[in-house]
Each structure stands twice: as C-alpha cells, then as structure tokens.
Amino acid sequence: MTTLGLIRHGSTPWNKEKRAQGNSDIPLDQEGRQDAYKLAGRLDDEEWDVIYSSPLKRAKQTAEIIAKRLSIQEILIDHRIREASGGQIEGTIEEERIEKWGVNWRDLDLGIEKQPSIFERGKSFVKDVVINHPNKRVLIVSHGAFIGHLVSGLDEGFKEVERLDNTSVTLVNKLEEKWRCDLYNCTKHLTVK
C-alpha cells in the first residue's frame, strides 16, 4: 500500500494578512517555522521513506525542518506540486480585489489556474510517485489549494468540508487501484504543550 502524507506548509506573513499567495515565493514567518518544528516532532514518531516539496520557499522551508528531524538526506523538489497560480489576484486581499474588479471578481478571467489543470499535474506527479516509490510512505509538502484539489480528484467519495490549516496532515492511501483519504486537515501537533 502506498501512503501519501500531504502537508500544507507553515504560515507566512501573507497568510496572516489574507493575501492570495499562489505562486508568489513567500517565506515562512516565525510562527510558521515554530509550527513546522512541532509537525516534525509529530512525524518523527511515524515511519516515512521519502519527502517531496514544492519549489516555493514556504514549502521548502517546511520540508527542510521535517527532513532534518526525520534524518531524510534528500528533499525531492517537484514543480508539479506548487500552489495553484493566482494570476492577477496574487498579492491582493479581498477588499483590494473588490475595489479593483468588483464583488463578482471570481467570475472574471483573471488568470487563476483552474481545477482541471491543478488536478492533471497532481495526477501526473502521483503516478510517478507510485512508480518510483511502490508501497512506500511518501511525505509531500505542498499548498492548501493544490492539496484540496488533489485529494478531491484522487478519492471520488471525498468531499472537502474545510480549508486546510497551515502544517496540517492529510493522509491518502492507495488500496489496489483506488485512493482513499483516511485523515484530513489534522493539526493535533499544534495543540500538544
């Protein structure tokens, strides 16, 4: 059985400001680094074979903290697991989007990457992971929108009920030819004192 441990990166200044990040290369903030260390401590109690990361700083920094704690020597970078492109809205907050494009800005073509494109690159990535790491436990440090679309596409019975929190863990297992989401948006490591 192949297991994917999908990790959303730690928090950034733009997360706090509610700015659309997309492919903007924003680093972790202090809280993001602290939470990544807590997550690494949680994952240290588990068995993981490989770690992949998006090329964006916030994901790479989170992956580096985890890899060091787990004594994983190499972080595999893959551009297919980067965040969904936010097009023209990157760097803006909701009020700025409404001011610039109106309350129906979501109905406009602002260059925002669509779900089919996100899932296609995610599906291609997952196919390669299964071929290259059969029956392994693979950590994937990525981004909220990307993970949400990927899980919804892999597990046909899955319905996303909440947005992913920073440093959350989502587990997806491949059983025969089907994927099943067994854990979604778990942040128990953040509540441990």
Q: What is the pLDDT of residue 161?
A: 78
The one-letter amino acid code at 22 reads: G
Query: What percentage of the chain carries pLDDT values higher than 70?
Result: 99
Per the CB < 8 A criterion, the answer to whether 91 and 19 are in contact is: yes
Per the CB < 8 A criterion, the answer to whether 9 and 62 are in contact is: yes
Q: What is the pLDDT of residue 130?
A: 95
CB atoms within 10 A of CB 31: 16
Q: What is the pLDDT of residues 127-141, one digit of tens each?
A: 999 999 999 999 999
Per the CB < 8 A criterion, the answer to whether 142 and 83 are in contact is: yes
Note the helical H segments in 18-171: 30-43, 57-70, 94-101, 115-132, 144-154
Q: What is the pLDDT of residue 155?
A: 94
Q: Does domain 2-190 have CATH number 3.40.50.1100?
A: no
Q: What is the pLDDT of residues 153-171, one digit of tens each?
A: 999 889 877 899 999 999 9
Identify the segments of the chain with pLDDT beneath 50: none
Place of tokens 């319905």: 159
Q: What is the pLDDT of residue 193?
A: 63
Q: Domains of the chain: which residue ranges?
A: 2-190
Q: What is the pLDDT of residue 176?
A: 83
Q: What is the pLDDT of residue 175?
A: 85
Please list the active-site residues: 9, 83
Report the C-alpha gap between 50 and 91 in whole angstroms.
Answer: 32
